[in-house]
Amino acid sequence: MEHHNNKMIVLGLDGATWRLIQPWAESNQLPNFKKLMDNGSWGNLKSTYPPITPPAWTSMTTGKNPAKHGIFGFLKLENEKFRLYQSKDKKEPEIWDYLQNKKSIVINLPVSYPPKKINGIMVSGMYTPSKESNFAHPSEIKDELLDEFPDYRFELSWGEYTGNKTRFLDELYKMTDNRMKLFNHLFDKKEWDLMFYVFIGTDRIQHIYWDQDELLKYYKYIDTFLGEVVEKIERQAEKINLFIVSDHGFNQINKTVDINKLLYAHKFLVLKKDQSLNKKIVFKIGINKSNAIEFIKKMGLLKLYKRLPNKVNDFISKQIPGETNIVTDISKENSRAYSNGFGTVFFTSNDGNDEIINKIQNLKDPENGRNVIKEIHIKRDLFSGRFIDEAPDAVLIPCEGYKLSKNSSDEVISNETFEKADHEIDGILLAYGPDIKCSNFKTASIYDIAPTILHLFGSPIPDDMDGRVLKEIFKETSEHSIRNEKYQESFNIQKLKKQVQMVKKVNNI
Ligand SMILES: [Zn+2]
């Protein structure tokens, strides 16, 4: 069977959640989301553990868990120093690498800088250093983009706007508007079969303002764009299926839990001896929170989102009181466990860890006597692959309302939160189109997106992908529902590189 008339659009809304979309769609405030939900398939999309942006998007585009693709968080620990993850750290092929006879357009995918040379167009996203950098493939796209949209931006350094809501919202809408215009430009003017297009603004506004009015306003703006996209799709002669996805969900937080402080209190964690007295005192007796917050405001974004050069990062982590840096602060030789944030826990030996898990599990909020940790997942249940040694030994999921941090304060649990809301596991998948049936599926995994897209293109699925084809979302009459999945042995990188070179030669790129 031929599938050459199949096209596909994936719209990524970073951090989008049914918690917000579903009630607003049901009350008709987001009419286009409602139309798609009434006529498409939708449900939760389970993220990676922990549910953070770089590993989650990478699992979505590779169909594999972090121990296979190698992206575990925001920063990579290399030679006892942290640096930002880059596209070269992704050790597995992505959807478009398998679809070599198809044209793909990939825009603003987190951790795609520097852009890979794909058959199509790639414009990098989060972590792109600047507009001067080579952020586009092929390179002439850079000039075309900047000519058409001189104010185009990849990201919003939201910490810069602390205390300046008007400016933040102004820049957020400007960034999103340019991104939407670029979508229309590419849709109309370029040849493509797969469009994978990410909007980061949903995540940024949710972190800072969990304010229902502001959020609804922004989602309405997205909803209007969605309506235009659907209209465009339905005007085309070809069959185009649409997925709307998020890399993780979001929920309100009102307390912070410092796992390192908990480990320290139980003597599982030991600080380095050569640590400055000042900082040690801070860790022991806690920081003056209002001072710390003031300090952080003054420093801008740095602390919350470290997309800065290493030198700056090192500087900051040394300066911020209470920020635990696992390299400079913690004596790994003398500690039994430590956290690198986001609910990760690393053990230093294989013995006696049940005792540590037990203490974490039994952590109660003294204010209400309730448990703080909802789930503890251990390494072998979450990860498998050649980078397993870089994976955390356990990942904690907090109960609703708590954020897990590695920032020490004077108590394990504190009422201070720098952000209003934080990531949670359940993201969204909303599928709509000629092959998609009307249904509410139970749960899909972020690993299922890549195999499902490959199946829609009639392309074989590497047998080491961790996800499956979501056949339950296809119409019974659709050939995708009838056709069996085709699996094949995983591509070897060398073989793949050769194939890419051949396609390039054939297509003269
Ligand atoms: Zn995200």
- Per domain, the residue ranges of the chain are 6-248+425-507, 254-419
Question: How much distance in Å is there from the Cα of 250 to the middle of ligand 1?
Answer: 9
Global pTM value: 0.88
Least confident range of 45-49, 191-195, 405-409, 415-419: 405-409
Give the mean model confidence (pLDDT) for residues 65-73. 97
Torsion of CA 450, 456, 460, 463, to 10 degrees: 40
**CA 10, 16, 17, 18 torsion-angle sign:** negative
Find out whether 362 and 444 touch, Cβ atoms under 8 Å: no
Give the Å distance between the CA of 199 and the centre of ligand 1: 10
Q: If you measure from the C-alpha of residue 361 to the centroid of ligand 1, how many angstroms do you get, rounded to a whole number?
A: 26
CA of 381 to the centre of ligand 1 (A): 23
Confidence class of residue 268 from pLDDT cuts 50, 70 and 90?
Answer: very high
DSSP three-state, residue 455: helix
Neighbours of ion ligand 1 (CB under 5 A): 14-15, 53, 203, 247
In this structure, the chain runs to a length of 509
Determine the Cα–Cα distance for residues 206 and 253; give it in Å rounded to an integer. 11
Give me ligand 1 centre to Cα 486, in Å. 31
Of 61-75, 263-277, 287-301, 363-377, the range with the lowest mean pLDDT is: 287-301
CA angle, 260 then 263 then 269, to 5°:
90
Domain 6-248+425-507 matching CATH 3.30.300.30: the answer reads: no
Q: Is 129 or 106 the better-scoring residue by pLDDT? A: 106
DSSP string, 57-115: HHHHHHSS-HHHH---SSEEEETTEEEE--GGG--S--HHHH-TTS-EEEES-TT-PSP
Distance (angstroms) between ligand 1 centre and the Cα of 45 equals 13
What residue type is 253 in one-letter code?
I
Q: Which residues of 250-269 are buried (b: 16+ CB within 10 A; e: fewer)?
A: bbebebbbbbbbbbbeeebb
Separation of CA 29 from chain center: 27
Task: Write down the pLDDT at residue 446.
Answer: 98
Least confident of 154-158, 360-364, 489-493: 489-493
Cα-to-centroid distance, 155 and ligand 1 (Å) = 12
C-alpha of residue 383 to centroid of ligand 1, in Å: 20
Please tell me the distance between residue 11's alpha carbon and the centre of ligand 1 in angstroms.
Answer: 14
Q: Which residues pair with 375 in a beta bridge?
A: 397
Centroid of ligand 1 to alpha carbon of 203 (angstroms): 6
Q: What is the three-class DSSP state of 193?
A: coil
d(CA 123, CA 112): 8
In angstroms and rounded to an integer, the radius of gyration of the C-alpha atoms of the chain is 23
The CA 281 to ligand 1 mean position distance, Å, reads: 34
State the distance from the centre of ligand 1 to the C-alpha of 469, rounded, in angstroms.
23
Cβ-contact 248, 425 below 8 angstroms:
yes
What pLDDT is attached to residue 165? 85
Ligand 1: distance of its center to the CA of 320 in Å?
25
Q: What is the pLDDT of residue 456?
A: 95
Q: How far apart are CA 17 and CA 379, in angstroms?
A: 26
Main-chain dihedrals φ then ψ at residue 8, nearest 5 degrees: -150, 135
CA of 297 to the centre of ligand 1 (A): 23
Q: How far is the CA of 335 from the centre of ligand 1 (A)?
A: 31
Examine the pLDDT at 491 and tell me if it is beyond 90.
no
Q: Distance, CA 14 to ligand 1 centroid (Å)?
A: 5
Confidence of residue 158 (pLDDT cuts 50, 70, 90): low
Q: Two tokens at 272?
A: 């380095």
Going from the Cα of 358 to the center of ligand 1, the distance in angstroms, rounded, reads: 30
Identify the pLDDT of residue 311. Answer: 43
Averaged pLDDT for residues 446-467 = 96
Whole-number Å distance, alpha carbon 423 to ligand 1 midpoint, is: 8
pLDDT of residue 326: 74
Strand partners, 243: 10, 431
Q: DSSP letter string over 354-415?
A: HHHHHHHHT-B-TTT--BSEEEEEEHHHH--STTGGGS-SEEEEEPTEEEEE-B--SSSEES
The alpha carbon of residue 254 and the mean position of all alpha carbons in its chain are separated, in whole angstroms, by 22
User: Ligand 1 mean position to 451 CA, how many Å?
Assistant: 21
Distance 248 CA to ligand 1 centre (A): 6
CA of 443 relative to ligand 1 center, distance in Å = 19
466 pLDDT higher than 50: yes
Q: What is the pLDDT of residues 7-24, one digit of tens each?
A: 999 999 999 999 999 999
Distance 40 CA to ligand 1 centre (A): 24
What average pLDDT does the segment 241-249 reach? 98
- Confidence (pLDDT) at 483: 84
Q: 65 alpha carbon to ligand 1 midpoint, in Å? A: 16
What is the residue-averaged pLDDT of the chain? 87
Tokens describing residue 244: 């709307």
Q: What is the CA(67)–ligand 1 centre distance, in A?
A: 19
List pLDDT tens digits, range 208-239: 888 899 999 999 999 999 999 999 999 998 99
Output the pLDDT for position 409: 60
CA of 92 to the centre of ligand 1 (A): 20
CA 169 to centroid of ligand 1, rounded, Å: 19
pLDDT at 505: 72
